[in-house]
Amino acid sequence: MRTFLDRMRDLKNQEILQRSADEPLEALREKALDGQCPSNFAEAVKDKGNGLLEIIAEVKARAPGRVNVESLAPITVVREYAQGGAAAVSVLTDQSWFGGNLDTLSEVSENTELPLLHKEFIVSEYQLLEGRLRGASASLLLAYYFDQKELKEMMEHCHRWQLEPVVECSLEEELPRALEANPKILMINNRPIAAIPEEPSKTYQQGSVEVTLDWWDKYEEIREWKEQPGKILISASCIDEPYHVQRLMEIPCDACLVGNSAMTAEDRVSHLKSLRKGS
């Protein structure tokens, strides 16, 4: 069965082909060599030992089956995120299903000093560079898209361009591949996006924060990985209220990525503050 991620991979390959006709990979590499060093994403989102969970707040206009905002105002959003105590910002740049684009990433970068995660369905070095040139500090790598060798190569591309690779798993069978690559940052997506069918609208919103907790309890390999110095664990999706944060604080989770609830909150500043405290 083809999945939503298969559909997005085809779309991203088409987009890369179109954009690289105007600006080839080598041109992006040349530009990146002259670019400024990005902010330290890992340092921002790691556990500070203060009893608080760091928040990565996401700029996302919509998702399959839901609309967060009718009109995205990224400058306003990111400023509210900063006031709410976000440690970093995730910017979703897919236009087709999520209402974002690379210009949004640039706009956010120009209006915040917080480190930025480029959230995209990344399948090639080309996209890594596109994000880097627009201010990203880190790039999301979905384990679903890569075999062992390819994942390590993509992580090496990230390091070459001073980007922090954030390796995401949304299915248990992806974990061995991700852990073998030994990333500094591992993200567990509580929503099983790698199992969502090609037409996602009716099934995309499933998931629970309990996924992160269940995997932590079930897999000794995750616990062994986390015991290494400097490893950062992030829980993403389905984190909507302080209780969810309280649950994540029961394990050594460094940060959580909050998207829909942050975007739709009537008072984003207060919402993020309450999430961060878990109360």
Give the global pTM: 0.95
- Rounded to whole angstroms, how far apart are CA atoms 151 and 170? 15
Task: List, in order of start, the domains of the chain with CATH numbers.
Answer: 4-22+52-277 (3.20.20.70)
pLDDT cut 70: percent of the chain above it: 96
Encode pLDDT of 47-67 as tens digits. Answer: 998 889 999 999 998 887 777
- Rounded to whole angstroms, how far apart are CA atoms 183 and 120? 18
Q: Among candidates 185, 250, 239, which has minimal Cα distance to 213?
A: 250
pLDDT value of position 206: 76
Kindly give the residue spans of alpha helices, DSSP state H, lying in 64-184. 74-83, 102-109, 125-133, 148-160, 175-181
Encode pLDDT of 145-176 as tens digits. Answer: 999 999 999 999 999 999 999 999 999 999 99
How would you classify the pairing of strands 164-169 and 62-63?
unpaired
**Bigger pLDDT: 34 or 258?**
258
When pLDDT is cut at 50, 70 and 90, the band that residue 38 belongs to is: confident
Calculate mean pLDDT across residues 121-143.
97
pLDDT value of position 65: 72
pLDDT value of position 204: 62
